[in-house]
Amino acid sequence: MAEAAFQDFYPDDLALCYGCGRLNEHGLHIQSRWDGDETVARFTPRPYHTAIPGYVYGGLIASLIDCHGTGTAAAAGYRAEGRELGSEPALRYVTASLKVDYLRPTPLGVELEVRGRVREIKGRKVVVEAWLMANGEVCARGEVIAVRLPEGWR
Amino acid sequence: MAEAAFQDFYPDDLALCYGCGRLNEHGLHIQSRWDGDETVARFTPRPYHTAIPGYVYGGLIASLIDCHGTGTAAAAGYRAEGRELGSEPALRYVTASLKVDYLRPTPLGVELEVRGRVREIKGRKVVVEAWLMANGEVCARGEVIAVRLPEGWR
């Protein structure tokens, strides 16, 4: 069985995200995990996730980077506090800012790898840099500024 | 009948985009039109396009800004050359860079308005600023750097 993903630990009421919520039946179900000091998510776009024919839709790439970024932020938040993933109070981050540079067209029909690395943790804010690879080549680079949801939000 | 959208003029082989291609049967079918010197697209997210409950998924917002940006770039390209939308050779733009600042949570369940304005046209590049509104409030601001597909690409 695969190791649990960060998103598997989101509380039920915060697990409905279209990108990464395990309880959104229409969603993408992006799953992120640690890989040393980096994080990784793998995703195979559906045939209709096309931009120009043969290449992956940029909005999907932005979505992958977005949810992998907030997932990485949550995992980094737990790690910074020396806590187990999923321990209470739950940490959940939302996106304040998202930037994606599309370096080359991303081929459709192969598994994509999204990797992340924490650049900064400061108070409630986590800055994550991310990059997306296909066939071993970096196709896009991104940055997510994620902000922790206040406790009171739930 | 509504005035034709920019995306209605995309040639068939470039009209398969998940975000805005009229020929992608699974897609979002984003449609953009001139409104004076600005451009506008209206879109009502589906109930499952959720982030945290009650609010719109950030990846969808990025997708709306992305496709509205490239659509605006195409329309601006024709306008800059004094040509009719859809006249040959077809102009089609792809995203080189996308940035979105999420200013406040975007409520789910209402029609969203995405607006665009051309900030710069330089050679094959068009820079579009965009903003997304719900209930009359700006919820996100974005910038799209769009680049014209080379003729030879088709």
Between chains, do B48 and A100 touch, taking CB under 8 Å as contact?
no
Q: What pLDDT, on the 0 to 100 scale, is given for residue A150?
A: 87
Q: How would you list the strands of the sheet with A38-43, edge to edge?
A: A32-35, A38-43, A112-122, A125-134, A137-148, A93-102, B93-102, B137-148, B125-134, B112-122, B38-43, B32-35
Q: What pLDDT, on the 0 to 100 scale, is given for residue B38?
A: 98
Using an 8 Å Cβ cutoff, are B52 and A16 in contact?
yes
Q: What pLDDT, on the 0 to 100 scale, is given for residue A142?
A: 98
ipTM of the complex: 0.96
Which chain A residues contact residue B91 at CB under 8 A?
Answer: none
Express as a percent the part of chain B with pLDDT over 70.
99
Cα–Cα distance measured from residue A43 to residue A28, given in angstroms and rounded to the nearest whole number = 9
- Considering only CB atoms, B57 lies closest to which of A13, A17, A153, namely A17
CA A64-A102-A92 angle, to 5 degrees, is: 25
Between chains, do A19 and B92 touch, taking CB under 8 Å as contact?
no
Using an 8 Å Cβ cutoff, are B128 and B49 in contact?
no
Between chains, do A96 and B101 touch, taking CB under 8 Å as contact?
yes
Inter-CA distances, A46 with A3, A26, A40, A43, B152, Å: 24, 13, 19, 9, 27
Using an 8 Å Cβ cutoff, are B20 and B30 in contact?
yes
- Considering only CB atoms, A63 lies closest to which of B62, B67, B92, namely B62
- 3-state helix/strand/coil string of A96-114: EEEEEEECCCCECCCCEEE
Cβ density class A62-77: b for 16+ within 10 Å, e for less: bbbbbbbbbbbbbbbb
Between chains, do A63 and B59 touch, taking CB under 8 Å as contact?
yes
What is the mean predicted confidence (pLDDT) over B3-16? Answer: 94
pLDDT in tens, A45-68: 999 999 999 999 999 999 999 999
- Considering only CB atoms, A94 lies closest to which of B51, B62, B67, namely B51
Which chain B residues contact residue A149 at CB under 8 A?
Answer: 52
What is the mean predicted confidence (pLDDT) over A93-116? Answer: 98
Inter-CA distances, B20 with A48, A140, B69, Å: 12, 21, 11
Average pLDDT for chain A:
96
3-class DSSP state for residue A28? coil
The model's pTM is 0.97
Between chains, do B102 and A96 touch, taking CB under 8 Å as contact?
yes
